[in-house]
């Protein structure tokens, strides 16, 4: 089932992207010949009005075919006035930008929606996950750890650096409770860690937790992961957090793409469509909410990639439309063809590198960090 749901999620992103192009093209009066999910000769198709709706055999995206996208193609005289290259530059730009815009709006709605539902993160000291026997039944996920052995830990207004220092201090406190008679695998501490914790909106409570020695970690552990704190957020705070996350992802994506030319680490970090699909599929098996969050980030990445200024990507069409506006007359088709070839030469290695990295992660068992 996870395979099908991940496929459906990706197909939905493609359909919504192309629906943006389709709807705005219709709105400004252009003639849409075909709306296709996937590429290649249609496997299934039907016609409604002047538009054919199809599903192709190659699942690498989709497209909307607008009459006159190629300025030298033969066009019936009765529809020539609705051809893409017969339209003003502003109409062409809004049609092209409509696809990435849908992906950006979708990413914002998903991310801001989850921040509104779950709260916005702030630097702090809290239990993000409870796994160990000592903590089971006592500590709960999202418990803010106010103090341990009398040392104050979580508090409002902590900076990221202060929160990291206090998390490290908590680790030291737990490790300061050794087993009686020496450290052996699984041994129980001779004395408990006294913790004061609180759930959001609840009164603090005090816990007596006995750490155990973990031979692999070579220290005493209670059995929980330390994370930040989620605070309730209204729609404005959630929107701000969503936009902030989108900006950070955009900046990192841009740095990674730029780093492909000079950084081996950036080339190793690059992922592709296979990795995105597999991460989504794994997330569906773990938590459908996590899967939807990942799809929101993939939607954002789809918009960013499509806005690169290379033909045949959307950003390339916008770039050359603006060049025509600045030049004051049409760009020769031969120039556009050469630009398209250069764009493909640049894009294909990025695609192949991402695909290669994804396959290596699957074969090696490294995975995609979904948990």
pTM, to two decimals: 0.79
Q: pLDDT at residue 346 above 90?
A: no
Confidence of residue 211 (pLDDT cuts 50, 70, 90): very high
With respect to residue 337, please indicate whether it lies within any of the assigned structural domains. no
CATH of the domain at 151: 2.30.42.10
Does residue 189 fall inside a structural domain?
Answer: yes
Share of the chain above pLDDT 90, in %: 44
Spatial contact of 357 and 272, defined as CB atoms under 8 Å apart: yes
Give 323-365 as a DSSP string: HHHHHTSPPPHHHHHHHHHHHHHHHHHHHHHHHHHHHHHHHHT
Q: Answer yes or no: is 278 within a domain.
A: no
Question: Is residue 136 situated within a structural domain?
Answer: yes
Does residue 45 lie in a domain region?
no
Tell whether 260 is covered by a domain: no
Closest C-alpha to 253, from 203, 308, 201: 308
Which of 124-138, 241-255, 327-341 has the weakest average pLDDT? Answer: 124-138
Q: Which residue range(s) make up the domain with 136?
A: 121-231
Structural domains of the chain, count: 1
* pLDDT band with cut points at 50, 70 and 90 for residue 132: confident
**Rounded CA separation 287/107 (Å):** 18
Q: Classify residue 8: in a domain, yes or no.
A: no
């Amino acid at each position: 089932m996870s395979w099908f749901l991940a496929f459906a999620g990706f197909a939905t992103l493609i359909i919504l992207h192309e629906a943006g192009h389709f709807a705005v093209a219709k709105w400004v009066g252009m003639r849409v010949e075909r709306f296709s999910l996937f590429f290649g000769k249609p496997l299934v198709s039907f016609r409604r009005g002047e538009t054919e709706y199809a599903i192709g055999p190659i699942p690498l995206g989709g497209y909307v075919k607008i009459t006159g996208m190629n300025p030298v193609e033969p066009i019936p005289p009765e529809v020539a006035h609705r051809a893409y290259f017969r339209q003003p530059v502003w109409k062409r730009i809004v049609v092209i930008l409509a696809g990435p815009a849908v992906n950006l709006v979708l990413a914002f709605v998903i991310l801001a929606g989850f921040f509104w539902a779950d709260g916005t993160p702030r630097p702090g000291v809290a239990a993000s996950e409870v796994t160990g026997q000592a903590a089971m039944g006592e500590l709960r996920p999202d418990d803010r750890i106010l103090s341990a052995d009398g040392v104050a830990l979580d508090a409002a207004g902590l900076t990221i650096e202060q929160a990291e220092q206090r998390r490290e201090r908590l680790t030291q406190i737990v490790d300061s409770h050794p087993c009686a008679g020496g450290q052996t695998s699984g041994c129980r501490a001779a004395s408990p860690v006294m913790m004061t914790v609180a759930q959001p909106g609840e009164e603090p409570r005090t816990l007596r937790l006995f750490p155990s020695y973990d031979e692999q970690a070579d220290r005493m552990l209670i059995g929980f992961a330390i994370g930040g704190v989620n605070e309730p957020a209204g729609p404005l705070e959630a929107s701000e957090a969503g936009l902030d996350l989108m900006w950070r992802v955009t900046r990192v994506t841009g740095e990674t793409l730029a780093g492909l030319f000079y950084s081996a680490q950036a080339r190793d970090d690059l992922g592709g469509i296979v990795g995105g699909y597999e991460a989504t599929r794994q997330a569906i098996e773990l938590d459908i909410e996590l899967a939807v969050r990942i799809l929101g980030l993939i939607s954002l990445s789809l918009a960013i990639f499509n806005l690169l200024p290379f033909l045949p990507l959307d950003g390339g069409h916008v770039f050359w439309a603006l060049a025509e506006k600045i030049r004051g007359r049409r760009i020769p088709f031969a120039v556009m063809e050469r630009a398209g070839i250069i764009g493909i030469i640049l894009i294909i290695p990025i695609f192949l590198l991402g695909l290669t990295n994804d396959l290596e992660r699957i074969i090696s068992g490294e995975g995609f960090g979904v948990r």
